[in-house]
Amino acid sequence: MMAFTYKETYTTRGDLSINTLYDALVVASYWLDREIASKQARLDAIKTLQKIILNVTNNPSNEKYRKLRLSNGMVSRNIAKHWSALEFLCMLGFGSKIIASSPGGEEEEYLVSDNVPGDSKLGLYAQGSTLLDLIHNRCQPGFVADLAPPTPWDEPVLLNART
C-alpha cells in the first residue's frame, strides 16, 4: 500500500509556490482535474471527496468520518487509485495510518485525520468543496471551456496583450 504524510506531499511541489493550505488545495485540484483521464472516473472521485467533506463538516467531532479504510470498495475505487485524490485529502489533513481492527487482529491501512477540524479548518473544507464543484462542472456534457469562468489554476486571460 502507499504510505504518505501531509508533510511529504505538501513539500514535493518544488515547481510551484505553495504559501497556504488553500494554495495547496488549488494545486491538488488542478492535478485532480488533469490526472484522471476518464470523465466518469473523475466524477466518481469528486463525488466521493465531496461526500467525505460533507460528512466531516456535518460531524466534525465524530472520528468515524475522519477515518477512511483504503480497502473499502468506494475509497479504493474512487480515491486510493488516484494520487491526486489522495493528495487532495492530504491537504485537508488526512494521512496514512496502519490500524489493527482489534487487539492482535489484522492490520489495515486507513486515511486518518487525527485533528478535529475547528472553525478555520472547516473553512478550508468549504473551500475544497467549492474547488470540487468547479471540477464537477467542467465534467458535465456541453461544457465549453472558453465560455466558463476561469478556475483558480487557470492562467489569467490578458486582454490587450502585446505579442
Pairing of strands 67-69, 95-100: unpaired
User: So what's the pLDDT on residue 161?
Assistant: 45
Dist CA 127 CA 129 (whole Å):
5
Helix (H) or strand (E) holding 69: strand 67-69
Three-class DSSP category at 121: helix
pLDDT attached to residue 120: 65
pLDDT score recorded for residue 144: 60
pLDDT along the chain (163 residues), means of 10: 42 46 82 86 93 90 88 92 90 85 80 73 82 82 62 54 46
The grid coordinates listed for 97 are 495510518
What pLDDT sits at residue 50?
Answer: 94
Identify the structural domains of the chain with CATH numbers, from first to last. Answer: 6-11+19-140 (1.20.58.2190)
pTM of the model: 0.74
Q: What does the pLDDT read at residue 95?
A: 86
Q: What is the pLDDT of residue 156?
A: 46
